[in-house]
Amino acid sequence: MLKKRVIVCLDVKDGRTTKGVKFQNNVDIGDPVEMAKEYYRQGVDELVFYDIIASARGRGPILDLISKVASQVFIPFCVGGGINTVEDIRSTILAGAEKVSLNSPAVKNPELITEGARIFGNQCIVLGMDVRKDPTKPSGYGTTIHGGRVDTGFDALEWAKKGVSLGAGEIVLNSMDADGMKTGYDIELTRMIAEAVPVPVIASGGGGTPQHMADVLTEGKADAALIASMVHTMGYTVDGIKRDLNNLSVPVRLN
């Protein structure tokens, strides 16, 4: 049976790790390089690094910081934020990332997914989706960009399928409604997308306990669960979470 992955997310703003609720009221919680090093020591399977203001400010990725983080971790490392061109993808991978997450730029220029996948391989291109409930959409969910500030008008299910058809090799599916709430992932949303696409789906938004993670990895059919608050501020460790998941009969890589 394929092992489920535990992924830690570092949201970065002005060079510091930050955490908010539903993308609001962010507070500084530390140095991303030191935090990445510690989570790697604890046995995290992958790291995701999001520059949460790059797209809104219209600038590219912060390559020096990406390089510093990459030098501390020897696991898959995904970077998102400000990656607007094929050159941005290339420079981010050269700085040490294995994957890039395309969210706002993919909506504005879907061809970037195709070009990125053609040049660097599907496994390098992750479709980032910030999704919220929208009863006007056929699936019941719509997509947003620029950190949830702009509604794309896209139905979440249709955009997921389109992104994969264009070449995305993975999806990070973030529930805006659950983000930072620590009350559990959106199981219905995650299962709907996971059943509709032939690529791995990473559940994001709402993780507060190992049971929440177990639920989305089993009932939600996610391939991985992304966490932030649990390890940043709630006292959990990655290795402790993995032991709990193992005890809940979820197959994970134990140290």
In eight-state DSSP terms, residue 177 is: T
- DSSP letters of 68-116? HHHTT--S-EEEESS--SHHHHHHHHHTT-SEEEESHHHHH-THHHHHH
130 is catalytic: yes
d(CA 23, CA 31): 19
Residue 164 tokens read as 């994969």
Report percent pLDDT > 70 for the chain: 97
Residue 11 tokens read as 């949201």
CA-nearest of 166, 122, 128, 163 to 145 is: 128
11 is catalytic: yes
Q: Is the pTM of this model over 0.85?
A: yes
pLDDT (tens digit, 9 = 90+) per residue, 76-115? 999 999 899 999 999 999 999 999 999 999 999 999 999 9
pLDDT (tens digit, 9 = 90+) per residue, 123-150? 999 999 999 999 999 999 999 998 788 9
pLDDT (tens digit, 9 = 90+) per residue, 185-242? 999 999 999 999 999 999 999 999 999 999 999 999 999 999 999 999 999 999 999 9
Q: Which of 11, 134, 155, 179 is catalytic?
A: 11
Q: Which of 51, 130, 155, 215 is catalytic?
A: 130
